[in-house]
Structure 1
């Protein structure tokens, strides 16, 4: 309600700023970059009401000083790795994390330096995962590496992007053996090919499975679920995907 009364002394209702009148019936506009999964052309809201809108924030290169130990990590890597300027596409600091965006062909080299240099000592690769930025990037398939220095109690992220047409980058299993099954999962789910992997085969889906289920243009599919007195259709038959 407004604090300002009208001439009759009765407060006038005011629509809050940013509210969507008529929700949930009103469908907010969608942007190509905010396209939902499995062919959904709406907002990305899979509830079926169309009320969820997540604006995509641009990823911009951070300017120095980054803060904390991030500057020390960059300086040490730049000193230890002469090809730093060619290998690192950009440095991003967001949500308290340091991310180095690495050219795909250089990822194994960067990991080797990060592990072995005495000023860095990122001995552990705790995760290798895939991300599909459908509609937002020509190189839409991204691989994210989470590295930990147990010596210095530090963590950083590496990110490398490849295209669907050429989804290749070197395997880091020779540097981090823990990446073995994680790279296989990224291959299985996203179709990202890790050249030099000792046994790059599917790990979750059957060997003869066609396609990669976590790509955002992969058809959803599903089976109906029956309850007492009701039946829930499979996800691809629900109204959000019609």
Structure 2
């Protein structure tokens, strides 16, 4: 199984769904339209591509890009071929909601809850979407990049030392 084969198979089945593709460090990475992500994951699991293992789901926040401010990243694995793929989908903060894939992978339950808890991204159709790590009365999503990383009274460090 090669990246070219997988990309061609996906583009054949979903001709307008892939926004971009890249292969950082040999890891096939696709940016997919939000409306198509669940259908694509379902196809990748049930077809001969055989991506039957969900490795991870996580959120991401790019505060400087309002059209693609929040996103969800899915890592899938074909265990027989030992081939992994990363799927990304992005959306504005105002529409921070994607379809749940708990009906495809039961392990997605806690991963989606964690992403909801830390980024505020809602998973439409999730059976029990509530906070998992933080207290319910916290009032904010701690992994959004809108909070200072350092004490504002310190002069020896600033957020630029942390990649911001």
| TM-score, length basis structure 2 | 0.88
CA distance in 2, matches of 1:237, 1:194: 38
Deviation (angstroms), 1:241: 4.6
Q: 1 or 2, which has the higher strand percentage?
A: 2
Change (3 A) 1:122 1:206: same
Report what 1:108 is aligned to. Answer: 38
Asked if residue 174 in structure 1 is aligned to residue 90 in structure 2, the reply is no
Q: 1 or 2, which has the higher helix percentage?
A: 2
CA distance in 1, matches of 2:152, 2:111: 28
Deviation (angstroms), 1:164: 1.0
| Aligned partner of residue 111 in structure 2, secondary structure | helix
Report what 1:37 is aligned to. Answer: none
Residue pair 2:11, 2:18 contacting (<8 A) in 1 also = no
| Aligned partner of residue 209 in structure 1, secondary structure | coil
Asked if residue 94 in structure 1 is aligned to residue 24 in structure 2, the reply is yes
Report what 1:123 is aligned to. Answer: 52
Greater gyration radius: 1
Report what 2:68 is aligned to. Answer: 139
CA distance in 2, matches of 1:195, 1:205: 21
Asked if residue 216 in structure 1 is aligned to residue 145 in structure 2, the reply is yes
| TM-score, length basis structure 1 | 0.61
Q: Which has the higher contact order (CA 8 A, sep 6+)?
A: 2
Deviation (angstroms), 1:93: 1.6
CA distance in 2, matches of 1:185, 1:238: 31
Residue pair 2:54, 2:77 contacting (<8 A) in 1 also = yes
CA distance in 2, matches of 1:138, 1:78: 24
Deviation (angstroms), 1:77: 2.2
| Aligned partner of residue 71 in structure 2, secondary structure | strand
CA distance in 1, matches of 2:54, 2:96: 21
| Aligned partner of residue 237 in structure 1, secondary structure | coil
Unaligned segments of structure 1, at least 5 residues: 1-67, 221-233
C-alpha distance after superposition, 1:12-47 (max 9, x if no partner): xxxxxxxxxxxxxxxxxxxxxxxxxxxxxxxxxxxx
Unaligned segments of structure 2, at least 5 residues: 160-164
Report what 1:70 is aligned to. Answer: 3
Deviation (angstroms), 1:165: 1.1
Report what 2:162 is aligned to. Answer: none
